[in-house]
Amino acid sequence: MKYELGLIGYPIKQSLSPWIHQQFLIKAGLEGNYSMQEINPDESFGEEIEKIKSSQFDGFNVTVPYKKRIINHLDQMDEDAQTIGAVNTVVHRDGEWTGHNTDWIGYITSLKRHYPSIFQNKMSSILLVGAGGAARGIYYGLLKEGFIRIDIANRTQSSAEAIAELGDTTTQTSIMALESAEKRLGTYDLIIQTTNIGMKPNVSDTIISLDQLHENSIVSDIVYQPIKTEFLHQASQQGASIHYGHTMLLYQAQYAFELWTSKKIPADDMEELLKHKLEGR
């Protein structure tokens, strides 16, 4: 069988997903294509999706800005994607299109690989900075892992409150303004930057000041263009440990590939290669 896979989003010309999935196909000894299906926001999304669905696709990834919009064009969604309310992976099997979300598990896997110790203490105190779609997936993943102290700082409090509703009675989540998070930064074991602030070309932007950061903390940023964001740069200057965003990209792809082909391909050895590829851009 030859797999027909692809990526829907805009803009996606710079995406490294085709490279990642080509590597997975080679490693798995499978034949296949992973093509770019860029949908310009000026075009009719519905029409473009129907065209893609009428081709021979076995599945595709979905990225910004279509992770929510795709939902109306699917037959079903798995429980994770339903709760998160966003789809990054679509599987076409037996004539049905099913939506999945592998972003959250990709993030958790990457964090566990680099900082397994944090998973040993479920009382670790965690701060999510930002409350968009990415934050929602990460909050969901942290809850699944059993963490109960997860605060959310965001410019708009109501978005953070909506994410906190995913928690149950054992979850302790305080919602706060970005300025309050700056003052309380020293109390967190793990701080996760979940917005696209600091992404190219705005490489000198940071969402909060890290002045109060404790050197024992771990600082994570989901932005991977540049690899070392200004946020991560400042964190390492303060002596903190850092966690890079490109590892999330790699492991969400690993789970997507497994959904399409039932093959779990080791990806640890690709982290450095991916980093070099991104640095060369």
Helix 246-261 to helix 103-114 angle (10° resolution) is: 120
- In the bound state with ligand ATR, the residue whose beta carbon lies nearer, of 155 and 277, is 155
C-alpha–C-alpha distance, residues 63 and 83, integer Å: 18
Catalytic residue among 2, 13, 51, 67: 67
* 226 CB-near residues (< 8 Å, 6+ apart): 200, 203, 278, 279
216 forms part of the interface with ligand ATR (CB under 6 A):
no
- In the bound state with ligand ATR, the residue whose beta carbon lies nearer, of 78 and 205, is 205
- In the bound state with ligand ATR, the residue whose beta carbon lies nearer, of 22 and 63, is 63
Parallel, antiparallel, or unpaired: how do β-strands 89-93 and 76-77 relate? unpaired
* 95 CB-near residues (< 8 Å, 6+ apart): none
Q: Quick one: DSSP state of residue 217?
A: -
Active site residue 67: yes
CB 87 within 8 A of CB 34: no
Measured between alpha carbons, how far is residue 157 from residues 175, 190, 275 in Å?
7, 21, 34
- In the bound state with ligand ATR, the residue whose beta carbon lies nearer, of 195 and 254, is 195
**55 CB-side CA count, 13 A:** 14
- Tell me the backbone φ, ψ of residue 81, rounded to 5 degrees: -65, -35
Least Å distance between CB 232 and ligand ATR?
A: 17
132 forms part of the interface with ligand ATR (CB under 6 A):
yes
98 forms part of the interface with ligand ATR (CB under 6 A):
no
The one segment of 102-110, 131-139, 185-193, 253-261 that binds ligand ATR by CB under 6 A = 131-139
Per-residue mark of binding to ligand ATR, 189-208 (x: CB under 6 A) = ------x-x---------x-
Per-residue mark of binding to ligand ATR, 138-167 (x: CB under 6 A) = ----------------xxx--x--------
- In the bound state with ligand ATR, the residue whose beta carbon lies nearer, of 25 and 197, is 197
Question: What residue is closest to ligand ATR based on CB?
Answer: 132
Q: Rounded to an integer, what is the distance from CA 240 to the centroid of its chain?
A: 22
Interface residues with ligand ATR (CB under 6 A)? 64, 130-134, 154-156, 159, 195, 197, 207
Q: Looking at the annotation, which residues are catalytic?
A: 67
